[in-house]
Structure 1
């Protein structure tokens, strides 16, 4: 025998599909921030007891998507304006480092795919599609960094922001400005200039943060 098989990670529970469904609904924005999550209702909808529902909600609490309030139960996590801006600051640090590592590993097909994506971005008028393309472009920038743990942290942060917050960022940012800065970042990558690419990315995210802050102050 070469070792003992540990199957803890392969076991499933009755809470798994509940967890997956709630998580998908939260990240997509179908369950709005601050919405109460009533265990009795969820259990009835899934035909289970409250035990797997509670298990699913606790897992989502660990991931920062759900909060439990005393005498009120669980609700979808609401991020304050300050917390949103703090998450963008964390995004700045993680993504700049990922891009710094990624540039030297980029190959022609990576650069071509990103250029094609930006061409589509320029033609898109739907805000939901623009948001999705924006997220895809940034993910393609960082993927060659060859650091799965760093990419995992970036993905976790994107999940915390959620689809509704990503749409807020897209709505708050001016399309012309975003297109120009994306092109600056990609041009630096095409030139193999990691320092310039990171400089452009830092400016891009910092400007986005300012626009989001102004957007929220106006209450739009």
Structure 2
């Protein structure tokens, strides 16, 4: 007998998946831009009323956000926006300091002219987003820049770890840039790192990358400590 044709998803199920994806994207942006701060409870009934939909796609959207590490499903509280402790922030940046500069030493010698142009383009996009105050774009552009710097290191497991660390510190990094006024410094250092790589001064680029990450981590930890002391 010929194999049975795969069962098509019911139209209602497809509609729910489409709606839940749209809701997840909307909530993701509000979490990332700081509208929903860490610790805020996202109530399914309130969100369903706000979006004018049933609770089913809301629940599916919150599960998607939990998988992305943006919310935690807590018994008796529902979905709560996740956040980082001071110790977790310190750990993330210490790991980045250990991993990223050595990988840049491996990656940068393999840059093509096209790679350098792409990195320059990212720095321009990043600088424009900073100047325009487009906070929601800072994290993604910063993440892309750091990963593209390291993409030719041929260390896929290390890159996977770094990608996760960059995602985890996305919101805190934007907080650090906004609260510390380090916007111009971050932009300038990105540009300098690319210029050093292009000039073949790889060790200097790695040293600057290390200092760049260390400064962001130290500044962010100070902000967290002030907030907890308030």
Q: TM-score, normalised by structure 2?
A: 0.68
Structure 1, gaps ≥5 residues long:
none
Structure 2 residue aligned with 1:42? 47
Q: Name which of 86, 108, 111 aligns with 1:106.
A: 111
Maintained 8 Å contact 1:103/1:193 = no
Q: Name which of 167, 174, 195 aligns with 2:174.
A: 167
Residues 128 and 50 (structure 1), Cα distance of their counterparts in 2 relative to 1, 3 Å cut: closer
Query: Once the 2 structures are TM-superposed, how far is the Cα of residue 51 of structure 1 from its aligned partner?
Result: 3.6
Query: Once the 2 structures are TM-superposed, how far is the Cα of residue 205 of structure 1 from its aligned partner?
Result: 0.8
**Root mean square deviation, CA, Å:** 3.9
Query: Once the 2 structures are TM-superposed, how far is the Cα of residue 60 of structure 1 from its aligned partner?
Result: 2.0
* Aligned partner of residue 32 in structure 1, secondary structure: coil
Maintained 8 Å contact 2:40/2:81 = yes
Query: Once the 2 structures are TM-superposed, how far is the Cα of residue 155 of structure 1 from its aligned partner?
Result: 3.9
- For residues 148-203 of structure 1, what are the alpha-carbon distances to aligned partners after superposition, in whole Å with 9 as ceiling and x for unaligned? 665554444333333x4232222326456545644553343123344443232122
Q: Which moved more, 1:34-43 or 1:99-108?
A: 99-108
* Aligned partner of residue 169 in structure 2, secondary structure: helix
Residues 149 and 214 (structure 1), Cα distance of their counterparts in 2 relative to 1, 3 Å cut: same
Q: Does residue 211 in structure 1 map to residue 187 in structure 2?
A: no
Q: Which moved more, 1:15-24 or 1:67-76?
A: 15-24
Q: State how many pairs are aligned.
A: 213
Structure 2 residue aligned with 1:90? 95
Q: Does residue 55 in structure 1 map to residue 60 in structure 2?
A: yes
Structure 1 residue aligned with 2:81? 76
Structure 1 residue aligned with 2:32? 27
Return the alpha-carbon distance in structure 2 between the equivalents of residues 66 and 55 of structure 1: 13
Return the alpha-carbon distance in structure 1 between the equivalents of residues 71 and 205 of structure 2: 36
Structure 2 residue aligned with 1:141? 149
Residues 35 and 118 (structure 1), Cα distance of their counterparts in 2 relative to 1, 3 Å cut: same
Return the alpha-carbon distance in structure 2 between the equivalents of residues 115 and 47 of structure 1: 43
